[in-house]
């Protein structure tokens, strides 16, 4: 999502991130050395985060756990005869600790 969340006239970028994500200032989110790929190259485990980035610099302003959690792969992926059909969960923001942004509807 791209929107001016803090009312300063400049948009922030909000999206799902994971271990090893590097923000626009070079800061690593989560574990820089994590590798959750399985033997087939799919990432089906490991933590996921929700991060708000400064739209101008790319600096991560706030990161929290992504909700709902990934959970059991079988609850959101269906294997069909023609391949994988993936159903992404709907993002639920219950609480976000935002120190630099004032976003009342996220608190």
CB atoms near residue 82 (< 10 Å) = 6
State phi, psi for 32 to the nearest 5 degrees.
-65, -25
- Cα–Cα dist 36/26, whole Å: 21
pLDDT tens, position by position, for the chain (107 residues)?
Answer: 999 998 999 999 999 999 999 999 999 999 999 999 989 888 888 999 999 999 999 999 999 998 877 777 666 666 656 665 555 443 333 334 344 444 444 43
Q: Evaluate whether 62 touches 23 at the Cβ level (below 8 Å).
A: no
The answer to whether the pTM exceeds 0.75 is no
51 SS3 class: strand
Cα dihedral 105, 87, 43, 67, rounded to 10, equals 20
């Amino acid at each position: 999502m791209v929107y001016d969340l803090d009312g300063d006239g400049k948009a922030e970028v909000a999206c799902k991130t994971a271990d090893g994500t590097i923000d626009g200032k070079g800061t690593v989110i989560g574990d820089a050395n994590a590798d959750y790929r399985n033997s087939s190259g799919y990432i089906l485990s490991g933590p996921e985060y929700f991060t708000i980035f400064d739209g101008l610099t790319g600096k991560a302003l706030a990161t929290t756990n992504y909700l709902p959690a990934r959970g059991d792969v079988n609850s959101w992926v269906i294997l069909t005869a023609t391949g994988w059909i993936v159903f992404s969960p709907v993002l639920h923001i219950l609480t976000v600790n935002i120190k630099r942004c004032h976003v009342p509807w996220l608190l």
